[in-house]
Structure 1
């Protein structure tokens, strides 16, 4: 975990011998420094840590921390950092950062001990005996993040990310200590090679910065960003730093004038407030220049102002006072007090036109809001067993961390876990309401189905429809701030693979994939078994595969069992015909006779298989294509689609025609079964004259024809003489549909009716 350097090597410490487990006296002092003794450069001094801890820890807790320090000092005795600085300075620095957050004694002890398991092979049992189980668990959680060897950099990041988040979900103090560790490492990165600096900075920017932001640790978030930027793009960093330094002088007059005006205006309004000038971080300026393609001179809001007032009401009074002083910019006001950010951040944001036409950003908040804004979850880190006693911030953080455990249970590989979780780390959120006015925060672009899974996995799995702002809407509808979302469920409903194409949150994707892999595994196995049996029969082979052949088949195909092989065939990962020919080849090499070998087994000669019978109730393993929505009576073909199973298309479908020409080997013959005990969706378009009551007459006739309407839409052009009504209806077969269409055609006002084969631009969810 050594990333750092500081200044110089101390000969007195380099001569110290490595620790002896029997117990060695440490040459460093803790909690009793002699103020009259000068400290040589590089010696690990703990006076600052002592001062910070004495402010809030009890004497008994200080004693425990002292014991942890002594043990850590003994274990790291003689160990140096890359710069030659004694290693114990690193744990002290990490503990000091944690002390700034006023973490408890257990967390401070873990910060001091966080490297002893990794570097000195100290066993967890020894830590439990000396310092208790909670401290040992924290140290163990931190050590597990560093101990794994990886095959690739991508895998390393994903696995490291996953373990860190899981450790964090069990105890958020693990991630706070880990972030403090990374911050000190980044502050002292100077002695590393340029390549190692870039690698560590990139990992920090991609993994640790978003976590710090998500937890509301804004001070660390900003510092880690700037430190990473300085090592990833050192020339750009130095150039921008020089430009900002020069701009400070040029803009000092503007800043002073605004500061004075704001203070006087607030005093006149009777508001006691602290006003701070605030400079944007270098990385924040760089990102704005890059994203908006601006030069530095065009970035006008390098400076902002923060106003900290006594209470909630004064925030809004201050806002009105500022808007009277300077003209606000339209669309640049955000109320994060009424609706806090996902990480608990609260403030009023407004941008005003200051002197000389310069845009100036103001943030207005209370002291408590300011504390949370700077320290985030660390400001409310106290752990309570009773969830009802948690603050809103704690509850939101706890719910997010718990969702990570849910994703972990449903996700097999690290890369997929990283894909799920990265989406949820970035705080560009949309805020919607439940019917009972509870606020739910979702990532930007989240859909109504994401909302359902956010409420509960079972709710998402059983979703059939949604109402947004009291009106029916497709499940794929993207939510907007302030939407009121109601989910309609059915116990018989199950997730569809098509849902994966539009859900946005990691939790929803993970839950849908988990359902498709596990709950519907039996359906995929059954379909795969049927397809393989047909392929074997076409080659005149017995479907009972000899044990020796089966063992070789599983070994060569990397399948763990025959069921797994059948499931892969059922979801389209393997082709039944190719597996059957593989079995034929294995039989040949094993010297086993084939049952009535077919006359030709050349790969260029297609094998004729019996059609697969479709009943429409097979479940997720067999789907009716949404593009053409085949119904009984249509001529149909089947496409084995990877990860979706068998997709049934009408032979007249344009999508099917293109698919057959591109991948003919993935298409098989299918036909409808004789007894079908369900109804099938299809779409019709009705052209009507634009007159009163025509929609009601058409809908009534559809109902009289014993069909169910599941969706209705119409043209937006209400001034036209003719209107197109679009329906999704449920019918038994083509005969039923033809009878319905004849009945509708006879209605006065209906000029034309046809069945819609193509997919609508905005299909129902």
Structure 2
């Protein structure tokens, strides 16, 4: 031990003085040897796995091992092991994929920037810029101004994803890091186990699947399930072990039957049964409401042949051996999955009604299915077929960069990425025959945005298989989709309720936010100008110096931010106007001609009714031009325009600072919805007469419903469109002239049927 060594090396004071008195020579204390940073670390497995590297590269890895051990010297894992055992284990996982030396070095050093004083510059000087960039991409952000752990996690994830978009090795290192952490999660307290397991199941396992790392994907799922639902995991694993003996006999017989039939068709193939994973069993039980025995009665087999034509020949042989289940055939060779996976899937009914799920693929497809994007490094010699998955991965990573540019913050970005991580199940075609891979439940709007952002933003209708269909229609496999666009169309906020892809959701939100900000700036400027008139001022009276003082006081970056906050109701224009008036008192305000500003009456803000998202007509009273109105600022939403006698407005009388004087702008051209109730005699043809009278007054009917509970009379509820109050009066006069009409009244929205 170092402590005992230094204690024994230091001579006592008595010995020292006695020796001096005797005049004898006393040697200097011997310094203790520093502890070996690699003591107790088993390196043989790593050395065996990096044998594929050149001698020079192996020496570089050895140097990185020692560098990492020295940096982490004295640090322990929760299990009590030296911390360096973790980066060594992560590097072993990457070495199994034959990753290059830059990635292996980065894996050995992936925690040094986060947990030690080592800087990125030091790593770059010692091991090169590429490895340093990889370490930086995996490392968490040092200082994040986050309000919660979730926000901090989202910001770190965003940083990692953007680094991964530049170099996919970043995520491969992170996945290997997460896999080893999951394998050693026993040492962590249960609450943290569940948090890490949930994060792994929701984010890292889907990423592994998206990159085609099937084995890693399955293991992460199994480990996450084990720690997230420990009791369910134990019950199912025990049941699987108990059933394994009986299943082995059935699998053996079915395998023998398949192996006997294929040579009869001159097909050389490897055939083996696929073991069901516990989490896969659990998901199938939950999603399809099946019992354990029902799930376990489905047997899976994999058939690997030499080339693509033989795949289809093997399919024919197996369909002749056992009857296929209609609708259970999928050709992922002709139409690969988004992660590059290719295979033929078919379900057969075997002897005694036993269902068989069979996958048929080539050896190259099998390599990609098991190793995904890592097969680029693992199978460098067999380059055929590798370019496709690399291109797909590149396209996906570029889509992440696009999501980043349109997402408002890290939490929103994480939400969009989670949506896109789940594998696509629907393949649809454009009119030109191009194939698009979309998630289950995707709609025509999702398709439009997958084609191009401008197509999505301007879409107004769609044709599916030649028929006009609503934009919210869910797409099915094989649908041909044509999007109809209009030059001045824009995204509808209602689309957010049913779009499924992260790309569509991000682009819609981005457009709405941009539009809302522009409208908010314009409205905020009008509101502040209006509030300043009460002080005899206008916005033009303020110098840049006064604006700078105001911005410093309220903590805003620029005038546009102030106007936006006013337009969204986050700041009150009256308060800001009062502060600006106080700042200018000592200077005095002048107009454009240098003359002192004279006070003017504040006046009212003019409302057109078509301002956009920042000025909304209240749905509780549905005002129309001609109605006396008042504006109410709603925090984060802008201004709502109410009728003066609206009950909802009276509830806000205590907060009069949020009220704004508004008037209708004359000569508006927009049509407004109004609800009316008509009580008529219950006679044949009365509805047609009422509809004709409304149409004669150039009014559109938006909605109609009837209540015929009374025997003698019928209540008819209409939503009609009018330009103003006089227009509504003309419509109601025309309706009163119909003999069968007993009573007519305008309704507020809350009174509607």
**TM-score, L = length of structure 1:** 0.73
Separation of aligned partners in 2, 1:628 and 1:644 = 18
User: Structure 1 residues 643 and 492, CA, compared in 2 at 3 Å: closer, same or farther?
Assistant: farther
**Unaligned 5+ residue runs, structure 2?**
1-31, 587-600, 676-691, 704-718, 732-745
- CA distance change for structure 1 residues 612 and 453 in 2, over 3 Å: closer, same or farther? farther
Partner Cα separation in structure 1 for residue 618 and residue 646 of structure 2: 13
8 Å Cα contact 2:528-2:576 kept in structure 1: no
Report deviation, 1:50: 3.1
- In 2 relative to 1, CA 238–734 (structure 1 residues): closer, same or farther, beyond 3 Å? same
- Corresponding residue to 1:45 among 26, 43, 67: 43
Match of residue 314 from structure 1? 310
- The question of whether the paired residues in 1 share the 8 Å contact of 2:607 and 2:662 is answered with yes
Aligned to 1:720: none
Q: Which residue of 2 aligns with 1:509?
A: 505
Inter-partner Cα distance in structure 2 for 1:441 and 1:624 = 41
Secondary structure of 2:329's aligned partner:
strand
CA distance in 2, matches of 1:559, 1:149: 18
On the 8 A contact 2:461/2:469 being kept in 1, the answer is yes
Comparing 287-296 with 549-558, which one deviates more in the overlay?
549-558
Instruction: Please tell me whether residue 673 in structure 1 is matched to residue 673 in structure 2.
Output: no
Instruction: Quote the Cα distance in structure 1 between the aligned partners of 2:388 and 2:619.
Output: 43
Distance 1:409 1:501 in 2: 22
- Within 5 Å, give how 1:238-637 maps onto structure 2: 238-301=234-297, 303-380=299-376, 391-490=387-486, 492-518=488-514, 520-534=516-530, 560-572=557-569, 579-580=573-574, 612-615=605-608, 618-622=611-615
1:227 match: 223
Q: How many angstroms does 1:535 deviate by?
A: 5.8
In the alignment, which residue of structure 1 is the partner of 2:179?
183
Per-residue Cα deviation, 1:99-128 (whole angstroms, up to 9, x for no partner): 222222211221122223233322222221
C-alpha change, 1:81 and 1:501, in structure 2 (3 Å) is closer
SS of match in other structure, 1:476: coil
For the 8 Å contact 1:216–1:372, the answer to whether it is kept is: yes
Q: 2:627–2:725: 8 Å Cα contact kept in structure 1?
A: yes
Output the CA distance in 2 between the equivalents of 1:293 and 1:474. Answer: 32
The unaligned stretches of length 5 or more in structure 1 are 1-14, 20-25, 29-41, 593-607, 685-697, 713-727, 741-754, 759-765
Distance 1:681 1:431 in 2: 42
Change (3 A) 1:305 1:657: farther
User: Following TM superposition, by how much is the alpha carbon of 1:564 offset from its aligned partner in structure 2, in angstroms?
Assistant: 2.7
**Alpha-carbon distance between aligned partners in 2 of 1:316 and 1:534, rounded to the nearest angstrom:** 75
Q: Which segment drifts farther, 513-522 or 94-103?
A: 513-522
> Displacement, 1:561?
4.9
Separation of aligned partners in 2, 1:283 and 1:123: 41
Q: Which residue in the other structure is 1:101 paired with?
A: 97
What corresponds to 2:34 in structure 1? 17
Tell me if structure 1 keeps the 8 A contact 2:674–2:722. no
Distance 1:18 1:564, change over 3 A: farther
1:142 and 2:138 equivalent?
yes
Q: How does 1:128-139 map to 2 (within 5 A)?
A: 128-139=124-135
Distance 1:534 1:74, change over 3 A: closer
- Tell me whether 1:116 sits opposite 2:112 in the alignment: yes
In the TM superposition, residue 264 of structure 1 has moved relative to its aligned partner by 0.9
Specify whether residues 126 and 553 from structure 1 end up closer, same or farther in structure 2 by C-alpha distance, changes over 3 A only: closer
Secondary structure of the 2:426 match is strand
Backbone CA RMSD of aligned residues: 5.3
Question: Which of 176, 200, 206 matches 1:204?
Answer: 200
Q: CA deviation at 1:451?
A: 2.7
Alpha-carbon spacing, 1:469–1:681, altered in 2? closer, same or farther (3 Å)? farther
Distance 2:251 2:640 in 1: 65
Is the partner of 1:225 in helix, strand or coil?
helix
Cα deviations by residue, 1:279-329 (Å, 9 ceiling, x for unpaired)? 111111122233344442332346411111111122222223222222333
CA displacement at 1:558 relative to structure 2: 6.5
Distance 1:642 1:280, change over 3 A: farther
Other-structure match for 2:51: 54
The 1-side partners of 2:720 and 2:369 are apart by 53
Q: 1:481 to 1:490 in 2, by over 3 A?
A: same
From 71, 78, 84, give the equivalent of 1:75.
Answer: 71
Deviates more, 1:667-676 or 1:292-301: 667-676
How far off its partner does 1:584 sit?
6.2
Cα-to-partner distance string for 1:605-658 (whole Å, 9 max, x where unaligned): xxx996643446645544689999999789988786666545779x89xxx989
Q: Secondary structure at the match of 1:299?
A: helix
Change (3 A) 1:149 1:673: closer
8 Å Cα contact 1:44/1:86 also seen in 2: no
Deviation at 1:154, TM superposition (A): 2.0
Q: Is the 8 A contact 2:299 2:355 kept in 1?
A: no
Taking structure 2 as the reference length, what is the TM-score of the superposition? 0.74
User: How far apart, in 1, do the equivalents of 2:168 and 2:276 lie?
Assistant: 29
Could you say which residue in structure 2 is the equivalent of 1:761? none
Q: How many angstroms does 1:670 deviate by?
A: 6.0
Structure 1 residue 171, shift from structure 2 partner = 0.9
After superposition, what is the alpha-carbon deviation per residue over 1:652-682, rounded to whole angstroms, capped at 9, x for unaligned? 9xxx989769889899786653355x77698
**CA 1:289–1:496 in structure 2 vs 1: closer, same or farther (change >3 Å)?**
closer
Residues 100 and 377, structure 2, Cα contact 8 Å, conserved in 1: no
Q: Distance in 2 between matches of 1:51 and 1:130?
A: 24
Distance (Å, rounded) in 2 between the aligned partners of 1:491 and 1:183:
50
Paired residues of 1:553 and 1:583 also in contact (CA < 8 A) = no
Q: Is the 8 A contact 2:630 2:641 kept in 1?
A: yes
Displacement of 1:206 in angstroms is 2.4
Secondary structure of the equivalent of 1:372? helix
Pair 321,416 (structure 1): closer, same or farther in 2 beyond 3 Å: same
Conservation of the 8 A alpha-carbon contact between 1:337 and 1:346: yes
> How many residues are treated as equivalent by the alignment?
674
- Does the Cα contact within 8 Å between 1:301 and 1:361 map onto a contact in 2? no
Larger of the two Rg values belongs to structure: 2
Q: CA, structure 1 residues 640+403, in 2 after alignment: closer, same or farther (shift >3 Å)? A: farther
Partner of 1:65: 61
**Any conservation in 1 of the 2:620–2:648 contact (CA below 8 Å)?**
no
C-alpha contact (below 8 Å) 1:496/1:620 kept by paired residues: no
Equivalent residues of 2:202, 2:418 under 8 A apart: no
Shift of 1:556: 8.9
